[in-house]
Amino acid sequence: MLSNNNSSQQQTEFNLVQVNGTWIRNSQHCQQAEGRSSAAKIYENKSDHGLSWTVVSPIVFTYRVIQCKNILDARNDTLLWGHLGDQKLKDTISNSKPVKRFVVIDETVNQLYGSQVTQYFEARTVVHKILPLPTTEENKCMELVTKILEEVHSFGIDRRSEPIIAIGGGVCLDVVGLAASLYRRRTPYIRVPTTLLSYIDASVGAKTGVNFAGGKNKLGSYIPPVATFLDRSFIQTLPQRQISNGMAEMLKMALMKHRGLFELLEAEGGTLLQSKLQSCESSERSEQEDSATASTRIAIETMLEELAPNLWEDDLDRLVDFGHLISPELEMSVLPALLHGEAVNIDMSLMVYVAQQRGLLTAEEKARIIQCMLGLQLPVWHQDCTLALVQKALSERLKHSAGSLRMPLPTGLGSAEIFHDMSEDILCKAYCKWTDELSSSGNK
């Protein structure tokens, strides 16, 4: 019995048990029914003013991230069945119903791989629809989502057993994810990233979204895919700028939590760029992991470590937000001049100067990080990243961060902490040093 504003309140906790298809409330004070238990609970509150119920219902998502080779080889089952566990796979294959798949593919990717995707499904006798779309940052809007939904509805899919497949970069994966989350309230979907940026970043989390009202990803949802399939062979057709763009997110994870990955990028970043993160035949036959395989694996593992406990961002203290304090404002203000990873790297570059100004990094560590960025052919400064833009971006960040700035900053090479304040004096001094030392590096 609790007292609140001179009124009495009594709370009773109920567990939920399913008996013969019916859910029954079990209180701690009554005889317990036997059946299938739920993790959900109902709390009943009686007070002088009336009756209320509080529902606590945990939501559990299970999704798979699979690194594979030759995903478009018709002998490879991954694209069709990789999202299923062994028992579900047996049950599905034993079903005589024709297999159907709806595929959304980026227009550029379709020009490169569309015929292989078609040949894959034809060889597997899959009823399919392939929808090429211009999934660029400038087109990342609800109109694309509506287009996908109209086509999905026309094609017709079983929302439980026929996942939508997204093949493309981060924009494609985000847009398809949002469409899938809306269609019949949630339809499973699969991500097949074709850029390095989406391979490391957009593919393995739960976020979906589109741009709205001039803001990046202002509309969206948290719905993870049932699976993400990672095949590095897609990356070999990318221009080198797109490889650099993706390596910014790899460097982010290195700076935040993995010194070994930083040192690998520092020593071999240029080679990885030139090889487009492809493994040579001798490396593939070797039991020892090569640099391309190691760098992508570590980036994925560290990303999953940070995302898995906090998929819905209930905790706003997120190391993966490093490089994302100022970059959304900068990226949208100069669109399409900067790619996402380039804007993120400019943000990280400035924050490295902030970290050094705060005494978190030595001058040598700062210099090593900037040199590594340049070695990855990433921009470290931009003329449109003015002090006014930085201050505006941080102010916006503060508005949406529950009263605290929540700024991830490196505290060494491969370690970081979240800081909840920013001195205007430190920011201005760091910004001036950043501009004085790096403005000569030019814009990307």
Q: Do 41 and 76 fall into the same domain?
A: no
Q: What is the CATH number of the domain that holds 102?
A: 3.40.50.1970
Q: Residue 2: is its pLDDT beyond 50?
A: no
The closest alpha carbon to 230, from 71, 6, 43, 36, belongs to 71
Output the 3-class SS for 267-299: HHHHHHHHHCCCCCHHHHHCCCCCHHHHHHHHH
Q: Do 247 and 232 fall into the same domain?
A: no
Q: Do 135 and 6 fall into the same domain?
A: no
Q: What is the pLDDT of residue 4?
A: 47
Q: Do 124 and 108 fall into the same domain?
A: yes
As for how many domains the chain has, the answer is 3
Distance between terminal CA atoms of the chain? 65
- Mean pLDDT within 231-259: 97
* Cis amide bond preceding 336, omega within 30: yes
- Mean pLDDT within 230-237: 96
- Domain closes at, from 56, 86, 101: 56
Q: Residue 10: is its pLDDT beyond 60?
A: yes
Pairing status of strand 36-47 against strand 22-27: unpaired
Q: Do 286 and 192 fall into the same domain?
A: no
Q: Residue 29: is its pLDDT beyond 60?
A: no
- Mean pLDDT within 375-388: 98
Please say whether the beta carbons of 222 and 328 come within 8 A.
no
Pairing status of strand 100-106 against strand 164-168: parallel
Q: Which of 9-23, 118-132, 297-311 has the lowest mean pLDDT?
A: 9-23
Q: Do 285 and 373 fall into the same domain?
A: yes
**Does an H or E element contain 346, and which?**
helix 340-357
Q: Is 444 a catalytic residue?
A: no
Q: Do 72 and 219 fall into the same domain?
A: yes
pTM: 0.90
| DSSP state for residue 200 in the 8-state scheme | I
Residue 125, Ramachandran bin (φ over 0: left; ψ between -120 and 50: alpha; else beta): left
Q: Do 267 and 170 fall into the same domain?
A: no
Q: Do 192 and 298 fall into the same domain?
A: no
Q: What is the pLDDT of residue 27?
A: 77
Q: Return the biggest CA–CA distance within the chain.
A: 78
- Domain closes at, from 192, 209, 238: 238
Please say whether the beta carbons of 236 and 249 come within 8 A.
no
Q: Do 188 and 205 fall into the same domain?
A: yes
Q: Do 88 and 33 fall into the same domain?
A: no
At residue 165, the 3 state secondary structure works out as strand
Q: Do 249 and 113 fall into the same domain?
A: no
Q: Which of 69, 140, 207, 429 is catalytic?
A: 207
Residue 17 lies in domain: 2-56
